[in-house]
Amino acid sequence: MILRYRDLAARVYDDKIRFPTFLPNSQRSEGTDGILVNVYRIWTDKDYRRIVRKNVHEYTEHDGFILPESGWQQIEKYEDDVTNEEIVETQENMGFNVIAPLAASKVKDAIINARIAREETQKPLFLEIPQHWTEEEIKQFVGETKEWAWGYGTKGDNTDKILFIAQAIPRSAKLHVFGIHHPAVIPILAAAGVDSFSSGAFSRYAEQWLYITDSSIVPITRMDELPCSCPSCANRTPKELDYDTLRQHNLNQFVVEIKRTRNAIKEGRLYEYAKRRALTHPRLWSAFKKIVRSDWVLENQPFPKQSSIYDFGDVEERPEYRIGLEKARKMGVKPEDLAYAYPFGQTYPEQIKERPEPERFVRAVLKYFWGLELEGVEWKERHGIPRDLFWKGERIGQIRYEDGAFIPTIKGAELIAKRTEAPKNRIVLNEKGVKRLKEDKTPLTTNAVDWDPELRPYQEVILVDEEDRVVGTGKSMVTAREMKELVCPVVKLRHRVK
């Protein structure tokens, strides 16, 4: 896994394909990065014996990622006698890279099916969690299966349940939501940490001559013009859409939404984007408020960010602002002394009108971001604001323009290490990690032996060896919890000791 960008509890990362992603529920290629294939539909196909001799990529004519779902609810609905072994064998014969054992209404049956699947294959498992399971049942299921899991899937109807599952599963496992009805759901659930989404609604709506707009689903017969410029809609009137073009338009809406969501995460504006989408329906608005106010989002929120915060009367509810206020309180720093620092100096309209004297600001920034109290610091100003900091004639770092964070040089990092208590603001590397650093490679989470227990994404950190000697600096990409659960680069490297 290579982490690219983060915001709220959402992560943009590469793992075969880019996540978060949308997987159309389809038995054929849809021109997307991946698709979701129902294995039960393959098993019940009259040409099953011929199909099962094909590779799944040949069957679907899709070269990208293919995620299976067992189809357990249809099996229970139709009281079919297909077994877990047959579902798993079908996937093995067709060369699925991820295997979905047959899910079950009872947790003990689901655990048995997962164990049987693991005996049949060493491939990672995609495990489905029914909405009616209790929190204790979910914890039991995850506890028994997490070592084998590619990821876990559930429906998107219950925000509390999704938040609970997101926290219960390892951060190395994907969280998938089935059956979303409208693209506006995507950024809201992505904010909770959902990694992938699937839906077949784009086809069902087309069969009913329903057209997906940004905010609703409209019968095509009620439309005077098409509010979209996708290839299906450009230069066409509503009457000129046929089933195929309407279906493609509906699919495009989901695909575009996932791209907009990833872009919002990259820009650090997922809160604003998800809020805008949430205003399309009261249920979405309720889900949005529950997610962004949750402790789970607070734990995963990157800090600091280099994007501004637009205050629409809710700034004190935003996780970034809550983190900033609590951090200032713990460090004994007044927010008014941080008028140029994140998040207080990045809020529009301005929350703090009065600008502190340069010395007060420098002292506050060093203590706020690093817990460092240092006498005799000198600085050079740019545009009337301290930027380059010096101590005893040596440059120790700079105060970054975008967010007011102090970015130390190696000399500055050594000063911090001497004057602050380990492992605060540190990631401690073993010998292999130090060796990787000397080879100009980024250390991995598996190279870390200790770290700041409050570590969060985008936090500036110093890299030290097991003797607390500085070996580098960088921007953290993970939380303290993820240090134990992910295998990925720990930082975006800034400086290393050569």
Amino acid 141: pLDDT: 98
Nearest to 35 by CA among 118, 116, 125, 96: 96
Task: Give Cα 7 to chain centroid, integer Å.
Answer: 7
Which CATH class name applies to 2-297?
Answer: alpha beta
DSSP class of 238: G
**pLDDT digits (tens), the chain, 498 positions:** 899 999 999 999 999 899 999 999 988 878 889 999 999 999 888 888 888 889 999 999 999 999 999 988 888 777 778 899 999 999 999 999 999 999 999 999 999 999 999 999 999 999 999 999 999 999 999 999 999 999 999 998 899 999 999 999 999 999 999 999 999 999 999 999 999 999 999 999 999 999 999 999 999 999 999 999 999 999 899 999 999 999 999 999 999 999 999 999 999 999 999 999 999 999 999 999 999 999 999 999 999 998 889 888 889 889 999 999 999 999 999 999 999 999 998 888 887 778 889 999 999 999 999 999 999 999 999 888 999 999 999 999 999 999 999 999 999 999 999 999 999 999 999 999 999 999 989 999 999 999 999 999 999 999 999 999 999 999 999 999 999 999 999 999 999 998
Domain limits, the chain: 2-297, 309-408, 417-496
Amino acid 81: pLDDT: 80
Residue 367 and residue 330 in contact, taking contact as beta carbons nearer than 8 Å? no
List all residues 6 or more positions away from 121 whose beta carbon is below 8 Å from its beta carbon.
88, 92, 99
Amino acid 348: pLDDT: 86
E strand spans, 1-124: 2-7, 10-15, 17-19, 21-24, 34-38, 65-69
Amino acid 47: pLDDT: 87
Amino acid 49: pLDDT: 85
Domain 417-496: homologous superfamily in CATH = PUA domain (2.30.130.10)
Note the pTM of the prediction, 2 decimals: 0.93
